Structure 1
Amino acid sequence: MTPHRYFIINKPQNMVSQFVSSDEVRLLGALDFEFPEGTHAIGRLDSLSEGLLILTTNKKVTNLLFQGEVPHKRTYWVNVSHVVLPETVELLRTGIPIRVKGGGYYTTTPCEVGIIDRPAILDKHQNETQPDVPNTWLSITLTEGKYHQVRKMVREASHRCRRLIRASIEDLELGDLPPGGVREIEEEAFFRLLKIANWKSAIPSGDYL
């Protein structure tokens, strides 16, 4: 039997979070890495978003991560146009109505929001270089994940999202992994960093591909 394997990647912009698509899009298979058969993404980042994406051969990780009793924190670095005022930070932090499918509005749950310096590990990006237009970097940590939630939150706060990078899920961090980079993680460390304590009982020792 082959043990399950676990990876993180730094998904670059203009790549979808899947290996197969009927559309003409750039797929995960374009990364310079030989993934084992059965590898799939856990959760998704939209094509324009970048950063931490989990890949694994273990089909039970999705339930363990997203359907547990305790929601898991996800932190994003967000570059937005113009200067963000303290009252806007507070609005984002305490909850802001965003439009959802069907045309209604949903008020986001309280989350962690702060203004940060530009993360030093990031590569230069053309969206950040508009002349004469100031910009602000935010760190936003959520425990929920509505469709395009972060982009919608900053839009409702009257700022345009220029760049969106997922930096971490719990203690599993992007670190200095370059765009398109792949890092394999040992199984026990993978679940420890994600703060999934019951993974051994949920995954029998013989449950491999």
Structure 2
Amino acid sequence: MSFIPKSKYTYISFHKPFGVLSQFTSEGGHPSLEGFGLPKGVYAAGRLDRDSEGLLILSDDGPFINKLLDPKFAHPRTYLVQVEGDPLDQDLNALRKGPVIKGYKTKECLVERPEPQPLIGERNPPIRERKNIPTTWLKLTLTEGKNRQVRRMTAAVGFPTLRLIRIAIGDLSLENLEPGQWREILKEDILSS
């Protein structure tokens, strides 16, 4: 384990499992962050929907969280997205250009189809699959974070999201954290400037 110098603030990289709320209070019978042994006083820097998985940053550094979330800084967020269907280049280009969602044109983003497709373990519960319709993993990097934006973007171009995993925020990647695991990090690990 690497040594983390003592800081005035705490910064945590957490792999949020599917079905867990990005808050410390449970609602509607859904589990929250409370059961993962996270340090006292930290809170989520932004949100990751209950039905999404992956990297969640927690901290007690309010000004830093505000900077991380402020749209004017346009910090990148990268997702692996499993969609229903097999998007063609024209579909990927439509995503790159930013589809219109509820009257709002999303910003341009980076979209690629990783080849070979990533091997990702099954989710619990598993995604719904239809026998005659393939699924495809895409990698999207956005610089904005509207509510359920990735899901709405893929649906807008005809490919509903089945599974969504955030794998990076700024300079920080999920690395080898398993669902439910967390580690303390440095602020510089997230944003180098």
- Give the TM-score category using the shorter length: 0.7 to 0.9
> 1:98 matched to which residue of 2?
101
How much does 1:22 deviate? 4.8
Cα distance change on mapping 1:106 and 1:2 into 2, 3 Å:
closer
How much does 1:135 deviate? 0.8
1:110-164 per-position Cα deviation (integer Å, ceiling 9, x unaligned): 11001114334x3223217543321111001000111111000000111111000
Tell me the distance in 2 between the aligned counterparts of 1:131 and 1:98. 29
- Consecutive unaligned residues of structure 2, counting only runs of 5 or more, are 1-5
CA RMSD of aligned residues (A): 2.0
Q: Report whether the alignment pairs 1:195 with 2:191.
A: yes
> 1:53 matched to which residue of 2?
56
The residue type equivalent to 1:82 in the other structure is G
> 1:119 matched to which residue of 2?
118
Q: Tell me the percent identity.
A: 37
SS at match of 2:132: coil
Higher CA-based Rg: 1
1:11-38 per-position Cα deviation (integer Å, ceiling 9, x unaligned): 011010000245422100122x2x2321
The residue type equivalent to 1:115 in the other structure is R
Contact kept in structure 2, 1:36 and 1:57, CA below 8 Å = no
Which among 7, 12, 32 is matched to residue 17 of structure 2? 12
> 1:64 matched to which residue of 2?
67
How much does 1:68 deviate? 7.2
How much does 1:3 deviate? 3.0
Tell me the distance in 2 between the aligned counterparts of 1:165 and 1:68. 21
SS at match of 2:58: strand
Aligned positions of 1:165-184 closer than 5 A: 165-184=165-184
How much does 1:70 deviate? 2.7
Task: Provide TM-score, normalisation by structure 1.
Answer: 0.81
Cα distance change on mapping 1:161 and 1:22 into 2, 3 Å:
closer
Q: How many residues align?
A: 185
SS at match of 1:127: coil
Cα distance change on mapping 1:4 and 1:87 into 2, 3 Å:
same
SS at match of 1:147: coil
How much does 1:171 deviate? 1.5
Task: Provide TM-score, normalisation by structure 2.
Answer: 0.88
> 2:3 matched to which residue of 1?
none
- Consecutive unaligned residues of structure 1, counting only runs of 5 or more, are 100-104, 198-209
SS at match of 2:127: helix
Aligned positions of 1:5-44 closer than 5 A: 5-31=10-36, 33=37, 35-44=38-47
Tell me the distance in 1 between the aligned counterparts of 2:12 and 2:118. 23
> 1:204 matched to which residue of 2?
none
The residue type equivalent to 2:107 in the other structure is T
